[in-house]
Structure 1
Amino acid sequence: MTCPPDKNNTPTRPSLSVDWEAYATMLEDSDMPLDQQQELIETLWSIVVMFVDLGYDIKPVPQICGEDQEALDRESADLVSLLHNEWAQKVTDMLNRVIYAGYIEHEQWGITRRQGHHQALISLETYQTIQERRNSKGIAAKRPDISKDFPLRGSVNCACCDKPMTAYWSRSATGKRYPYYNCQTRDCSEYRKSIRAEKIDDGFENILRSMTPSKNMLDIAISMLKDAWDQRGDQAKQAKAEIRRQHKELDKQQDALVERMVETSNPKVMSALETKIAKLEEDKLLLTDKLSQNTKPKSTLSEIIELLRDFLSNPWNIYENGSLLVKKTILKTAFKAPLAYDRQNGYRTPQVSVIFDFLADFTSKCEMVPPHGHAKQEKTMP
């Protein structure tokens, strides 16, 4: 008997393939070297895929990250405080009950897991994820330097030593808190010299607002988006077909085990076969649960095109209104390297992504000086 397919191997978010020749042809009229054309296509494709997955995500189980992870950590801390009172056991019982996933079972009465007639609060796969997390050895603690209060932390370097700045909250004598950045490199001349976060944030806003690509870039991006959108749709259909195939395979395995049960009279063998049949039934229920989940796009193609157009036309608007994860993604895709900031003179000319570097006259729009100079100083907090 072949082993049942691993439920974690069901296609979730396969990679998308880019048509290099088609998009290289769209850049033939430019004077860009071939290596830069390849970098442009790669970078733009990664951005396009990110936006496609916002609207057409075939991954059934949401990932916890950014602000969601912070909320989970706070809730976990609250649960820890309950470990020594009567509510701790109630919380554990709730996490263990499959009834919240729309199923019933009772091992003591010999009732195996089966579909209930009540409405599920969570999917069966989410329930399985909870059990796996509870039974795991542990989850690494969230990094303390990842915070929505300082989204630029890790992306801004000290202009003197080129090492990442740190950020923190400082409390005044009146008890009011103020955000600051500083350099923590001991042999740097700017060591522990504080910079108000408002200066760094305002300067970054000026940089991001100035980054606007040409119409040609928008045309290429939209063409890529439509291609990626169609690929995601095909992958969603293929994922459904694969789940149905796995379900049929489990049916065959179950039938084979039932035939073996009929042929044997050994109680131990029968008990072992019953256990295997019950496990296969659980796997089938999980696949059925996946089939019932809605894999249709959460947004229309036109909505995602508009969102992508807004991002490329004015990345600041997306950054300002986005989650911490979106902000970090924009920082990675819009810049080749961390931004260098000088405490006295502000930002140095940044190394922007080839998307904006080639198609947007960045230096003239930003009114910035050459890389060895400094940008204009931003306004300071009163």
Structure 2
Amino acid sequence: MKVSWFPDYINGLHKPLISQEQFFKAYAILHGKKPTVTTKSRNNPDFPLRNFVRCPKCDQKLTAGWSTGRKGVKYPYYHCRTKGCSLNIRKEDFERKFLDYLTCFQPNEEVMNLFEEIVLDVWKTKQAEMIKTENRIERELKDLKERKNRIDDLVIDGVFDEGTYREKSDALRDEMLLKQVELDDSKIHFVDFEECLKYCKYVLSNLGSFWENADIDLRQRFQSLIFPEKLYYESKTFRTTKIPYIIKKLQDKSPEKLHLASPRGFEPLSPA
């Protein structure tokens, strides 16, 4: 715990509500030492592709809404927001076509095995670097703690007055705080790597079903990752100005080994 009038931290007697690691991170954010995460924009979960897919004629992002029929029944539609544009398609058909298009970029088992091989090879190299970094941070943190102890001894011996002690102690404490956060982050990344790789393989192997079963926020972040540039709906199908980033990277690594579920290119084509 932190007491305002005391220059150091005190171990509380009660059971902590959060871990020391969580406290350090929260304290760093509150004191402007680490950037805060911006809140995610909200959207209507009924229309995950709204403001994402573009009209091929006017290049405007499609909007969506509910249209009321003659008998008062409401039907969901995606449509162009430009006045006079005829692009209008039912939500069910539009999202089914998007799923079909997304699935066309789904790598097969051979590609995923290559993906794992590449990532593990890189990881073995990075792993040694991470261990060195962790050891370096631990040494630096130990040095800061020793400097802090020496300052405590000097104030006890009367070498420092209260003002000088607070100035030097606060500066060291801030350095220790940031160094502790840096150390905690490096350990978290190290422990979670294999689980992250497993998760990535699952997502890449199930692009369509992953998008279909995700909530609105995850859907929109996911589709922006797969299609980082403009995505158009034209002639009852989709096309993009840039091949999905992850698949492109796999192709760059070893094109001769990569056989996608659909032929190469920005638009899925029928097998020859």
Does TM, scored on the shorter chain, surpass 0.5? yes
Hey, what does 2:107 align to over in structure 1? 213
Matched, 1:304 2:197: yes
What is the aligned counterpart of 1:131 among 17, 30, 35?
30
Please give the alpha-carbon distance, in whole angstroms, between the structure 2 residues aligned to 1:200 and 1:328: 16
CA distance in 2, matches of 1:106, 1:297: 33
Q: Which amino acid aligns with 1:253?
A: R
Q: Among residues 213, 236, 255, which one is paired with 1:321 in the alignment?
A: 213
From 145, 158, 163, the counterpart of 2:55: 158
- Structure 1 residues 172 and 250: CA distance shift in structure 2, 3 A: farther
Distance in 2 (CA, whole Å) between partners of 1:239 and 1:177 is 59
The DSSP-based 3-state class of the residue aligned with 1:167 is: strand
Match of 1:203 in 2: 97
> Matched residues in 1 for 2:162 and 2:228: separation?
63
Q: CA deviation at 1:280?
A: 2.8
Aligned counterparts of 1:350 and 1:338: Cα–Cα separation in 2? 6
Question: Is the 8 Å Cα contact of residues 124 and 286 (structure 1) preserved in structure 2?
Answer: no
Distance in 2 (alpha carbons) for counterparts of 1:111 and 1:263:
17
Q: Structure 1 residues 113, 320: closer, same or farther in 2, change over 3 A? A: same
Correspondence for 2:172: 280
CA distance in 2, matches of 1:231, 1:326: 31
- The alignment partner of 1:162 has SS state of coil
Which secondary structure state, in structure 1, belongs to the residue aligned with residue 8 of structure 2? strand
Counterparts of 2:132 and 2:67, CA distance in 1: 53
User: Distance between the aligned counterparts of 1:253 and 1:206, measured in 2?
Assistant: 62
Normalising by structure 2, we get a TM-score of 0.66
The amino acid of 1:151's aligned partner reads P
**Counterpart in the other structure of 1:9:** none
| AA aligned opposite 1:327 | R
Which SS does the other structure have where 1:115 is aligned?
Answer: coil
Q: Is the 8 A contact 1:166 1:183 kept in 2?
A: yes
What CA deviation, in whole Å up to 9, does each residue of 1:337-365 have, x standing for no partner?
433224xx522455543838974323115
For 1:296-332, what per-residue CA distance to the aligned partner results, in whole angstroms no more than 9, with x for missing partners?
534746x834x44444444212222345565345434
CA contact (8 A) 1:339 1:347 kept: no
How has the CA–CA distance of structure 1 residues 242 and 321 changed in structure 2, closer, same or farther, with 3 Å as cutoff?
Answer: farther
Distance 1:217 1:165 in 2: 34
Tell me if the contact between 2:77 and 2:90 (Cα under 8 Å) persists in the aligned partners.
yes
- Give the AA of the match of 1:227: D
Q: Does 1:347 align with 2:237?
A: yes
Correspondence 1:182 to 2:91: no
Question: Residues 208 and 233 (structure 1 numbering): CA distance in 2 closer, same or farther, change over 3 Å?
Answer: same
Would the aligned equivalents of 2:211 and 2:219 in 1 still touch at CA under 8 Å? yes
Residue from 3, 9, 17 that aligns with 1:121 = 17
**For residues 278 and 314 of structure 1, do their structure 2 counterparts lie closer, same or farther at Cα, with a shift above 3 Å needed?**
closer
Per the TM alignment, residue 167 of structure 1 is displaced from its structure 2 partner at its CA by: 3.2
Native 8 Å contact 1:155 1:164 kept in 2: yes
TM-score normalized by the length of structure 1:
0.50
Contact 2:24-2:180 at 8 Å conserved across structures:
no
1:226 aligned partner: 120
Partner secondary structure for residue 232 of structure 2: strand
Q: Given that residues 77 and 88 in structure 2 are in contact (C-alpha distance below 8 angstroms), is that contact kept between their aligned partners in structure 1?
A: yes
Question: How many residues in Structure 1 have an aligned counterpart in Structure 2?
Answer: 248
Cα offset, 1:230, TM superposition: 3.4
Is 1:249 aligned to 2:151, yes or no?
A: no
Gapped runs of 5+ residues in structure 2?
252-258
Identity score, percent? 22
